[in-house]
Structure 1
């Protein structure tokens, strides 16, 4: 077997390979059998993390840019997102995009299998780590949503492997075809709970998907029906926040339930995690072992350190992002808000960092090229 890189000592060659950008890993893997073996080994991922080379990345289900059209005078124009949506055009087409919010780097992923290549409308996304010999191998899982052409609920699952740079179809989600459900990754599994069926009945049922085994498992039911809840990973548990029962369409409750994978049981979280009537869509959890949760409220970013702690103000959100589509926390106390100044407007990206011990926080606007300024319908955090 030859050198990893001809003419370089092995340790130097390995240092070069660990510095490959996350979007170039599929190319590197195809160079040679040695390089493929190297980037697929758990040691490779441990070394990247040990040297601080793992990147915080957001996976965004992002609207495709509107296609140029010609007006009566032959001049090229673009439809706005709102106009495109009203005509059933490009606003119904979504793609998966990766954003490194620290470096302001954007990278689109390949389209899904199939002729359209578009993500389902209102799908959920979650990122999982491999286990055992697959430890450190990241996969992105897209679950459910609506068919972009027919708007019919789907049970489809798609799994993206960051090393191969390819999508595959996963086992379909069992049970009734559900919409607007809670979803989050906890450990190496993706958890789903609540939502509503095709008859608009709110659901209590829950499921877990193992991407490595490509298998679903039924979980015990939640105590309450929860349509449009928010799913979070908090303290190693699957936290389902808010939602509403069938008979209370749109009237959100402030309660939450948590599923513990270790005991396979649900437990209520302190009543009133949110105020009754508050939509949990902007809730997000800080990654890691912390119990910190963020959300937007009345134009401000607020935080809660544990379910028993009170909400505290963090920072006022810039005016051109207050109609928020996505809120996500990344390591080092940073929070990313993607939103616009009005419904249908171009999206702006802001990164906030809390200054530990100073009680201060400041926003920095991250560059978003025009082709990545579309509406974000779902997002998740991962570290590559």
Structure 2
């Protein structure tokens, strides 16, 4: 009887140990340890035991990381791959295998291949910049990433979406949607329901945490589009929206924090290509209709697509809501924008942020940049800091900055930057981000996750 009791107790202790996150530690303490493990090791942690796999596959684990200020800031960018492509490497390999008596024939063949490679469109990859640990990595999905596709992230579910763009072989617009569940792992890509219209250079934004709105862009005949639709990510379903009032190609999509409306800024029509409209349109799901907002974009020669950051929400003096829209416009110093919705006690204002000289150069009045707003950690909220990640469009390399904090001898002070802005007084401080050559390509689209 004693032996049976001891065996039963031992079995019970083993079962309790299996249920513990870390044997010998209370689960509260174990959780404090596990949420501090960097995200790059999470896939390895899932293979330790079933308890860890279930824990790390649950969104609540990442919510705990956010609460404990241990979450990492990840910037996802759709970037052209380095020029030394796999095709070029295969050409070098084939050349080494050619015998001397076929040299003349091979030279002609190589020249033809080189001409084809030179004129072939760039291949795109998905880059992840970890702004917490300042590391770069490239994700290799099992499909060809469309050129100029839109990249959006859903913080609530930890998902990343790639929408539309051009087929890299045919250069035709596509309606494809690819979904990556970051929580499940880097290999968990799936094909989502396709958009009803193949489009590129369109407005796109996440609204309400689980819905993605798209509008405008152009079709395979380069005609500007008025059409719009909305994607329910949880249901994997698209719904058609009423058309906008105007065609809007190369327009900007926005959603304001705490607001359920979808904004489409500027763009141009089929007959006015390159002349950006000053107005925009706003879709209100409560009424199911679009309204036009005048004087929304005061720069007719500039696209609003990349050089603007998402707005931030705060309370104004009258008890309503105020959002701020940042324009990164180099030397451009024009009038600022202010919009007030008295019915909702809601206001939006804009501020111009001057880029570092090493980005805008000495002769250009504007610069091609890609802007991604980084979400706030608790410490940033306490200090009232806003952080924005900026990628330069100068090819990733350029002249050295005169500012000591922006110097980098390895990448000549170009590539990535992080701007810290004090929201109480508007003061900005720039930090250069070392950008390896392989990751210096200008991103067409980018998004952000706190994970």
Assess, with a 3 A threshold, how the Cα gap between structure 1 residues 288 and 137 changes in structure 2: closer, same or farther. Answer: farther
Alignment partners' CA distance in 1, 2:37 and 2:449: 17
Q: Which residue of 2 aligns with 1:268?
A: 292
Alignment partners' CA distance in 1, 2:236 and 2:148: 22
Q: 1:339 aligns with which of 382, 392, 395?
A: 392
| Structure with greater proportional strand content | 1
Alignment partners' CA distance in 2, 1:6 and 1:306: 58
Q: Which residue of 2 aligns with 1:159?
A: 179
Q: 1:326 aligns with which of 344, 349, 370?
A: 370
Worse overlay, 371-380 or 345-354: 345-354
How far did 1:99 drift? 1.3
Name stretches of at least 5 consecutive residues in structure 2 with no aligned partner: 1-14, 96-113, 315-321, 341-347, 362-366, 377-384, 399-410
2:381 aligned with 1:360, yes or no? Answer: no
Contact 1:159 1:211 in 2 (8 A): no
Contact 2:165 2:173 in 1 (8 A): yes
Q: Which residue of 1 aligns with 2:442?
A: 375
Q: 2:126 aligns with which of 81, 96, 108?
A: 96
2:50 aligned with 1:33, yes or no? Answer: yes
Assess, with a 3 A threshold, how the Cα gap between structure 1 residues 36 and 151 changes in structure 2: closer, same or farther. Answer: same
Alignment partners' CA distance in 1, 2:54 and 2:333: 44
Worse overlay, 95-104 or 264-273: 264-273
Worse overlay, 18-27 or 216-225: 18-27
Contact 1:25 1:162 in 2 (8 A): no
Give the 5 Å matches for 1:228-267.
228-235=250-257, 236=259, 237-267=261-291
How far did 1:302 drift? 9.2
* 1:47 partner SS: helix
2:204 aligned with 1:183, yes or no? Answer: yes
Contact 1:146 1:154 in 2 (8 A): yes
Give the 5 Å matches for 1:44-55.
44-55=61-72
Q: Which residue of 2 aligns with 1:133?
A: none
* 1:48 partner SS: helix
CA deviation digits over 1:82-123, x for unaligned, max 9? x9998145x6111111112353222322x2334xxx311010
How far did 1:375 drift? 2.4
How far did 1:179 drift? 1.7
Q: Which residue of 1 aligns with 2:309?
A: 284
Worse overlay, 209-218 or 356-365: 356-365
Contact 2:388 2:419 in 1 (8 A): yes
Q: Highest CA radius of gyration, 1 or 2?
A: 2
Structure 1 length-normalised TM: 0.84
Assess, with a 3 A threshold, how the Cα gap between structure 1 residues 147 and 163 changes in structure 2: closer, same or farther. Answer: same
Q: Which residue of 1 aligns with 2:82?
A: 65
Name stretches of at least 5 consecutive residues in structure 1 with no aligned partner: 75-82, 130-135
How far did 1:33 drift? 2.2
